[in-house]
Amino acid sequence: MKRMLFAAAGLLLLCFVTSAFIYSDSAVSVTIKNVFSDTVQFEGEKHFANVRQLTFGGDNAEAYFSFDGKYIIFQKTNPKEGIACDQIWMGKLPVTPNDKFEPKLVSTGTGRTTCAYFYPDGKHILYGSTHLGSTECPPVPDRKKYGNKYIWAIYKDFDIFKADTSGRIVKRLTKTDGYDAEATISPKGDKILFTSMRNGDLDLYTMDLNGKHVKQITNMLGYDGGAWFSPDGSKIIWRASRPQTPEQIKEYKDLLAENLVAPTHMEVWIANADGSNPHQITFLEQANWAPNFTPDGKHMIFCSNHEYKRGFPFNMYLTDLEGKNMEKISRDKGFDAFPMFSPDGRKFVFCSNRNNKGTRDTNVFIADWVE
């Protein structure tokens, strides 16, 4: 999962996050072109043009393009609409300003789901879900029990499923005890990359598109998750925690024994697609996560709170693959994260607290990417 909600934020969207920290701030909806305002686009966001808000209300996150760039799939929670915890939605992207974005539910509507992704054929999707363990939303952790620390639940009932785009599950891809989620597919269309706790730690694995030939590709103590392939499929990038001191290691293992993790200190790592030559590329402290490659495969974009000692806001940053020449590319005062480029590199989708009328809503936005 790839989302985090931090102290001021409130609700957790898994896919770790669900990968994220979420808060909210801002007002009024408007589609703008080459105009900056305190709504959908902020001054200084020079890489964004023609920003459009696609969702309105609730927590919407982890929006990812189909292989043909015509659709997105994302996870959504909105108690006002009867969606008590994350479910998976997909929709066709508007082509003209007058086209509406009208997503449909493609998960079961039961349990909690996370981290959806399209198959290359455009006819199937995959996502993590707890629905086989229970049709109810799993309980969120009681932070008071852990000194009010920010923690995520690594629900043991999460498994990865393949479904068609009408929502019919066609195959259960993982069947091991413990957490399996956070899956993405190589642009080459040959491998699934995912996070699993099957060995007692949170490591990265690959498998074929049918769930066969599972291979562990990370083995260092700590949480490895939110991983992506490079555009040519030769490399992977992900977020990782690396407890070092005896106290940090004990805390990590104690939480993991209760299917929990504290994602307040993460850095971005990179490796070859088979897991060889793994190395850390950010050294910013705090939470650095939700990395993704740029279309040229020579840079990355990621989310971080490193500028803010209080741990908030979260903004997006652009760097080379050595973590150098960093440029801040988003300016929301709350939360910007989950970046992804369209396959042709012309569009950019992300999730943000901007333009939410002062609520804690997180919505999906799409923009033209400007070099």
202-250 residue pLDDT tens: 999 999 999 999 999 999 999 999 999 999 999 999 999 999 999 999 9
Question: Looking at the DSSP assignment, which residues form a beta bridge with residue 291?
Answer: none
- Encoding tokens for residue 59? 């927590």
Residue burial 99-110, b: 16+ Cβ < 10 Å; e: rest? eebebeebbbeb
pLDDT (0 to 100) of residue 58 = 97
Q: Report the range of poorest mean pLDDT among 124-128, 302-306, 317-321, 357-361.
A: 357-361
Residue type, 263: P
- Number of domains present in the structure of the chain: 1
In a domain, 157, yes or no: yes
Average pLDDT of 95-103?
Answer: 96
What CATH number does the domain containing 153 carry?
A: 2.120.10.30
Segments forming the whole domain that contains residue 296: 48-369
In a domain, 9, yes or no: no
In a domain, 210, yes or no: yes
In a domain, 41, yes or no: no
DSSP conformation letters of 142-209: -GGGGTT---EE--TT-EEEEEETTS-EEEE---SSS-EEEEEE-TTSS-EEEEE-TTSS-EEEEE-T
Average pLDDT of 272-282?
Answer: 98
In a domain, 15, yes or no: no
Per-residue pLDDT tens digits for 16-44: 444 334 333 333 233 333 333 348 999 99
Q: Considering the chain, what percentage of its residues have pLDDT values greater than 90?
A: 85
In a domain, 252, yes or no: yes
Instruction: Please list the alpha-helical segments (H only) found in the chain.
Output: 246-257
In a domain, 291, yes or no: yes
In a domain, 101, yes or no: yes
